[in-house]
Amino acid sequence: MQFIDTHAHIYSTKYDSDRDEVIARCIDYGVNKIYMPNIDVESIDPMLEAELKYPEVCIPMMGLHPCDVTKGFEQQLYVMEDWINKRPFVAVGEIGLDLYWDKTYYDQQKEALKIQISWAREKQLPIILHCRASLPETIALVKEELDENLTGIFHCFSGSEEQAREIIEMGFLLGIGGVATFKNGGMDKVLPKIGINHLVLETDGPFLAPVPHRGKRNSPEYIPIIAEKISELTDTSLENVAEVTNNNAARIFSYLKR
């Protein structure tokens, strides 16, 4: 059985001591594709090195994470726009809004998000949205920018059934990760009602490890644990979860070719 991790920072220094072993275990467990969201200018080189070392397994995106939007963020965007114009990427991400850590640069976060959405529209690429403590605000901004050429994934979805349906109605997918395994994560109430047709699997490694690894380093090799939990919550077979989420991932990341 094959799986796809649509969101993991496998280039992170957290994997420097055993990245080869982690990738080998991923392949053994059927996780044969790992999509890598970029964070900032400093993460570009290690991300592209991972792509070079693990071709067709580690696949890069390009974007500026909202937590890295600070004074002078335009210079980072300038560098990233140059990259996105000179070589292919499968998505614009990880982009979005974050009101959890620091609200100081919220206006700049919104500006950066709109600029990067314009890249996605121009290149016909999906967007990968970070929306921690900002899901209503992110939905509202995306609705303002929405047209028939804009699609993507709401990464690390942890909202309500109503918010899930709103996102699906916009033509976006829901990225489901380790939160689905948390006792108070809320997904036990949402996933049974919305089913699997608009989901993709993700880990967000090295963050947000699923139970029973919660609190430890997360890893793409844990994707089957997340898939099993989704299977349980939606009363569908693990094989069906794998097939549907793989097809969704393939569709969203081949958007440019449609």
Residue numbering of the annotated binding site:
7, 9, 94, 130, 155, 204
Other Cβ atoms less than 10 A from the Cβ of 141: the count is: 20
Residue positions forming the annotated binding site for a divalent metal cation: 7, 9, 94, 130, 155, 204
Decide: residue 147, CB within 10 A, 0-12 exposed, 13-18 middle, 19+ buried.
exposed
- Residue 58 parent element (H or E): strand 58-60
Token digits of residue 29: 């467990």
Token digits of residue 179: 């939160």
Q: How far apart are CA 3 and CA 246, in angstroms?
A: 6
Residue 34 to residues 70, 120, 148, 203, 204, Cα–Cα distance (Å)? 28, 20, 27, 10, 10
Cβ proximity of 173 and 154 under 8 Å: yes
Q: How far apart are CA 157 and CA 174, in angstroms?
A: 6
Token digits of residue 236: 């569908």
Secondary structure (3-state) at 94? strand
Provide the CB-side half-sphere exposure for 44 (13 A, CA): 16
Cβ proximity of 178 and 209 under 8 Å: yes
